[in-house]
Structure 1
Amino acid sequence: MVAAGRELAAAGLSPGASGNLSVRVGDRVFITPTGARLADLTPDRLAVLGLGADPVHVAGPPPSKEFPLHLAFYLRDPAAGAVAHLHSAHAAAYSCLPPWSERSAVPPLTPYFVMRVGQTPLIPYAAPGDAGQAERLRELDFPFRAALLQNHGPITAGPSLASAVDAVVELEEVSRLLLLLNGTAPRHLTHGEAAELARRYGSPWDVPGEAAGRASR
């Protein structure tokens, strides 16, 4: 977590004291503390929570206020081993725009987005740390490992911290490309192309047919 935090901060994806990371180890969740800069994390200053419907602060400093979102991913997906949440500029900007479809705010613009991220729903706005927003994320009845928090930014999960970080970086990159293409009509991958990549790489993509949302921004 310390190394990942420094990597994300060095890449300019975690401005100021924004962003938070967590890793699940058994029934414990190690998470960055509230107000922490990802560049300044240390192993002895991580918060530890007990995983459950009523989380318990087990050790360390107070956890990030966003801990309900992290726990929501762990509780909805037993395969989730880590979560990354950033305020990276392009993904945060894209979260302020209307979603491409009901199941994915982001269209299948590139193969690597489909392979590394998959469908990414837009979660309606709520104040940071809102438990109701986390519950909405947890209760969505289709598979996903990433979401855009409306007017806020990206959050991703993965079986490992490396996979969650790879996904949040890829989500930032596809958001950057989409903003560069704003006002144009770019080619998206077809449903068949996206579905084949998802099948091959085990990523969640079950947007039915061509999305009902807009083709471009």
Structure 2
Amino acid sequence: MTEDARLREQICALAKSMFERGLTHGSTGNISARSSDGGLLVSPTGTSFGRLDPSRLSRFDAQGRHIEGDKPTKEMPLHSAFYDTRSQTGAVVHLHCCHAVAWSMMPDADEDDFLPPLTPYAVMQLGRVKLLPFFRPGDPAMGTAVRGLAGKRSAVMLASHGPVVAGKDVEAACTAIEELEATARLAVLMHGHRPRLLTERQIQDVVTTFNVEWDV
């Protein structure tokens, strides 16, 4: 199996796993990954994560031209913004997961630090998550908003829409976005119960130990 074929299979297997566990639904969500030739493989528009076909993934060359496969997701400006502003990005995942969306609707959700520090794992895998305002699905302004962060965040939450996470490869991006949803679920469960949060000292210990992008 070629490297391209392996990446195609990996994208579809990870997407199916997330779909089957209810992390996205219907034809929502999109995923992309950098190929060995510098191009991108991208989930097509209007497709279900549960039924992606490796042979029909949209393919872009290193110059950003769509060269084969089905029509790509309408959220390409969002994906491109991460690849263009974070040189270490090897994959981008966008989901419509329930608890993250619910937490984005809370009036006390912090725009600059979306996830409360309930466990060390979101800190380790995501750093600070930026809560962006609501945009119409497919609005290129979402990409503009990500570009405005100048590469300083690997994860954003689109209010009333869903999270977007960039990772060094497709497995890392999927793992991180799953952690985002798990932490948001904890936040929703703990809302109104005055949970004990990690202290600033504990957070800084995690940040230092795991070399996390944090004070940005």
* TM-score normalised by structure 2 residue count: 0.89
Report the CA distance shift for 1:140/1:172 in structure 2 as closer, same or farther (over 3 A): same
Maintained 8 Å contact 1:147/1:155? yes
- After TM superposition, the runs of 4+ consecutive aligned structure 1 residues lying more than 2 A away are 49-52, 97-103
Match of 1:21 in 2: 31
Maintained 8 Å contact 2:166/2:173? yes
Output aligned runs, 1:1-217, within 5 Å.
1-25=11-35, 26-50=37-61, 55-98=64-107, 100-141=109-150, 143-206=152-215
The alpha-carbon deviation at position 103 of structure 1 amounts to 2.3
Maintained 8 Å contact 1:99/1:105? no
Maintained 8 Å contact 2:83/2:89? yes
The alpha-carbon deviation at position 184 of structure 1 amounts to 2.2
Cα RMSD of the aligned pairs, angstroms, is: 1.7
One-letter code of the match for 1:48?
R
The alpha-carbon deviation at position 105 of structure 1 amounts to 1.3
Q: How many residues align?
A: 205
Measure the CA separation in 1 of the matches of 2:62 and 2:143: 14
Measure the CA separation in 2 of the matches of 1:122 and 1:66: 17
Report the CA distance shift for 1:98/1:121 in structure 2 as closer, same or farther (over 3 A): farther
Percent identical: 38
More helix by share: 2
* TM-score normalised by structure 1 residue count: 0.88
The alpha-carbon deviation at position 141 of structure 1 amounts to 4.2
Measure the CA separation in 2 of the matches of 1:157 and 1:61: 23
One-letter code of the match for 1:27?
G
The alpha-carbon deviation at position 100 of structure 1 amounts to 4.1
Match of 1:210 in 2: none
